[in-house]
Amino acid sequence: MGQVYLARDTKLGRKVAIKFMSTLSERMTQRFLVEARATARCNHENIVVIHEVNAFQGLPYMVLEYLEGQPLSRWMSARRLPSAQAVELMVPIVRALVHAHELNIVHRDLKPDNVVVLDSGAIKVLDFGVARMIRETPTDEDANDCGEAATATTVQGPAAPTASPTRSSSGCSMRSRERTALYR
């Protein structure tokens, strides 16, 4: 959805990351704003900090804290972790998601590329680009992809090693309304 550049905040004398939208459409602009709002609401040590949202020559952008480190996917490929260390690594990620869920925000795109292991060893969750703000009472927007009300009865299947969308009794997938996050 966007391209990220390293920049320098000349007023505060610090490095920042600037994320520009790569496609200009009303739908993508709204999605970009949802990402910015969700990130801004999540004031947590394990979630990237957003400093500003604006536009330059008609292209929306957001200024984020610069993270010195590497994506979890690259970090994991360089080492073999004992089980205890892998669980310990997940604790800050879970804390970040719990915090977002307490604010009625569902990340919906949790994957190793959206988690950064900082050079200091700290963990940051980023990219709330497909995040969803949860409302306590469903609206027409919360309908599933078949146009049914989001309160349809769901069919529970056996647990699987990969995440799959919730399905209504008619077989249509439900949009994420519950406090869940996908992991790929």
Domain that holds residue 46: 2-65
User: Of 1-15, 20-34, 120-134, 156-170, which has the strongest mean pLDDT?
Assistant: 1-15
Query: Which residues on neighbouring strands pair with residue 167, listed in sequence order?
Result: 173
Q: What pLDDT does 67 receive? A: 94
Residue 143: count other Cβ atoms within 10 Å of its Cβ: 18
Are residues 58 and 86 located together in one domain of the fold?
no
- 167, 144 Cβ separation under 8 angstroms: no
Mean confidence (pLDDT) of the chain = 75
Considering the domain boundaries, does residue 85 fall inside one?
Answer: yes
* All residues at 6 or more sequence positions from 110 whose CB lies less than 8 Å from its CB, including other chains: 93, 97, 125, 181, 182, 183, 184
Q: What pLDDT does 131 receive? A: 66
For residue 31, what pLDDT band results from cuts at 50, 70 and 90? confident
**How do beta strands 2-9 and 115-118 pair?**
unpaired
For residue 57, what pLDDT band results from cuts at 50, 70 and 90? confident
Per annotation, catalytic residue among 109, 119, 142, 145: 109
* All residues at 6 or more sequence positions from 79 whose CB lies less than 8 Å from its CB, including other chains: none
- Please tell me the distance from the alpha carbon of residue 62 to that of residue 10, in angstroms, as a whole number: 16
Last residue of a domain, one of 65, 87, 117: 65
- Assessment of whether the complete model's pTM goes beyond 0.75: no
- Please tell me the distance from the alpha carbon of residue 128 to that of residue 35, in angstroms, as a whole number: 5
Considering the domain boundaries, does residue 15 fall inside one?
Answer: yes
Are residues 116 and 165 located together in one domain of the fold?
no
Q: What pLDDT does 1 receive? A: 63
Asked if 109 is an active-site residue, the reply is yes
Mean pLDDT across 96-102: 90
Are residues 41 and 61 located together in one domain of the fold?
yes
Q: Looking at the 3D structure of the chain, how many domains does it have?
A: 3
Are residues 41 and 90 located together in one domain of the fold?
no
Q: What pLDDT does 135 receive? A: 65
Mean pLDDT across 140-158: 38
Q: What pLDDT does 107 receive? A: 80
Residue 4's identity, in one-letter code, is V
Are residues 125 and 145 located together in one domain of the fold?
no
- Please tell me the distance from the alpha carbon of residue 48 to that of residue 24, in angstroms, as a whole number: 24
Q: What pLDDT does 40 receive? A: 87
Q: What pLDDT does 35 receive? A: 81
